[in-house]
Amino acid sequence: MNNAINQPQTILVLGGGSEIGQAIVHQLASPALRTVILAGRTASIEMATPLDGDANVVSVTFDALDYAGHDAFVQEMAAEYGDLDIVIQAFGQLGDDTVNTDPVAAASLAQVNYVGAVSSGLAVAAQLRRQGHGILIVLSSVAGVRTRASNFVYGSTKAAQDAFATGLGHSMQGSGAKVVVVRPGYVRTKMSAGVEEAPFACDPDDVATAVVKGLRRGSSVIWAPAVLQGLFGALRYAPGPIWRKLDR
């Protein structure tokens, strides 16, 4: 449970190798932090940069596609490490050059980015309701605000994930727990390497800073950087020909 000044004691990262997820952990870390659980496809994930302090960092196996096992996995984490104060849903894939034309590649991407997010998100929400507290942080993307021709399959998976997460947040009102949706723009990570930078590109630490500030304000939706909120508020309604031209 968070301590008296709202500092988390236990953080679970689904997609534990995520650079953004780990950056958020670093900025949430305090002397109160006891356990960080990095969950991913292998049980050998480490923090890229060691945490200061005495927090115990453990690595466990988590498969975004193991829908039948998600509920048991979350309950097992809570039973072993105590109440989950912060859960960061940070897994996801960008897809390769074939994803916009290959039905199988597109379906596989949707399975990870959306279906896995739904299954694990519901499992986490059930645990947070039982606890009566905790925050699920969902890493969405501005790519889902309005999909572009160049990455419309990826954008559609993030749009679906975003819609699910915001709806889940509404459903948890009054439970003592909440969902926070994070909408980054282009972030310089291993996943985005080789992709041309978009305007207002930022680093994982910038996203983490925005997240921590948003948590302190009690925000349910966090844009990173903040300028993207106003920008996409306008671009959402830009005429189709203009939107397509911006994607060149």
Which residue numbers are catalytic?
154
User: Pairing between strand 177-184 and 221-224?
Assistant: parallel
In the chain, the largest separation of any two C-alpha atoms, in whole Å, equals 55
Structure tokens at 162: 């975003």
Rg (CA), the chain: 18
Burial profile 212-233: b = 16 or more Cβ within 10 angstroms, e = fewer: bebbeeeeebbbbbeebeebbe
CA 69 to CA 129: how far, in whole Å?
19
Structure tokens at 137: 């942080």
